[in-house]
Amino acid sequence: MMKDMINVALPKGRLGEKVYSLFESAGYACPAVLDPGRRLLFENEDAGVRYFWVKPSDVPIYVERGVADAGVAGKDVLLESRPDVYELCDLMLGRCRMAVAAKEGFVDDASRPLRVATKFPVIAREYYASRSREIDIIKLNGSIEIAPLLGLSDVIVDIVETGKTLAENGLVPFETVVGISARLISNKSSYKFKSRAIREMEEKIHREAAKKEDGLR
């Protein structure tokens, strides 16, 4: 029987390269992937895998619609877009956290709605709803840190890696909303019909991720 080919959507960029190297060490190499150039589709028939690079926030769309059988997306993207997919394992890569940050010395004034600037309105809304705090969401697409400085918002809800960008702008993270890392996701239907191949991939990736994690300790 012909081996099932798994189509994998990888997130373009720095995280994607780390993710690919994890796949490579788990036995899903496809050396052409890292060639500089404009090609977006790569295949290694022997390993049973076909990769394509897409914008990180688009990965769940390709997977949900079944064009990709599997993919790798940040937990932030999954929480924000709520795709109808399986979340199979934590790659423990691209670790950071979603946090609330504000100017140093900020005190929440409960007498009026809290103004929250963010790229992640779904996550922010849910977080504050869970604490019954009324908010006014200001959806921005970048340079979130500037919002409290200019008085556009009271706080921001954003991804914090090292906290350096925040600190440079005089902001401090004071609450963690949720921890973030890269996850292996799969299409629900593909999981049924390429079951063996996808479950094998899940297992190998999981093992490899755990091994790397141990190595870091």
Partner 1 sequence: MDLSQKVRLSAAEAAVFSLRSLYESRGYGRFKVSKFEEYDFYASCKSFLMSENVLTFTDSTGRLMALKPDITLSIVRSVGASGEKPKKVYYNESVFRDSGDGNGFREITQTGLERVGDVDAAAVCEAAELACMSLELLRGSRPAVLDLSHVGVVSAILDSEGAGEAVREAVASLMGDKNAGELSRLAAGTGISPRGAERLAGLATLYGRPDEVRDELYAAAGDVPGCAPALDELYSVAASLPEELKNMLRFDFSAAGDMKYYTGAVFRGYIDGIPRAVLSGGRYGGLLPEYGAHDGIGFAILTDLLEDRGGGRGATLVFDGAEV
The site string for partner 1 over 52-81 (x = CB under 8 A, - otherwise) reads ------------xxx---------------
Characterize 54-77 residue by residue with b for buried, 16 or more Cβ atoms within 10 angstroms of its Cβ, and e for exposed: bebebbbbbbbeeebbbbbbbbbb
In the complex with partner 1, which residue's Cβ is closer, 85 or 156?
Answer: 85
189 binds partner 1 (CB under 8 A): yes
For the CB of residue 180, give the shortest distance to partner 1 in the complex, in Å: 13
188 binds partner 1 (CB under 8 A): yes
For the CB of residue 178, give the shortest distance to partner 1 in the complex, in Å: 11
Residue 48 dihedral angles phi and psi, to the nearest 5°? 70, 35
7 binds partner 1 (CB under 8 A): no
* Separation between Cα atoms, residue 165 and residue 15, nearest integer Å: 19
85 binds partner 1 (CB under 8 A): yes
* Separation between Cα atoms, residue 108 and residue 140, nearest integer Å: 21
Q: Which stretch binds partner 1 (CB under 8 A): 113-121, 140-148, 167-175, 187-195?
A: 187-195
Nearest-5° Cα angle at 140, 162 to 175: 40
8 binds partner 1 (CB under 8 A): no
Cα 108 versus chain centre, distance: 29
Residue 52 dihedral angles phi and psi, to the nearest 5°? -140, 145
DSSP 82-95: --SSEEEEE---S-
In the complex with partner 1, which residue's Cβ is closer, 69 or 145?
Answer: 69
Q: In the set 26, 191, 201, 208, which binds partner 1 (CB under 8 A)? A: 191
In the complex with partner 1, which residue's Cβ is closer, 90 or 145?
Answer: 90
47 binds partner 1 (CB under 8 A): no
For the CB of residue 76, give the shortest distance to partner 1 in the complex, in Å: 15
Q: Answer for the pair 40, 52: CB distance below 8 angstroms, yes or no.
A: yes
Binding residues for partner 1, rule: CB under 8 A, are 64-66, 82, 84-90, 187-193, 195, 199
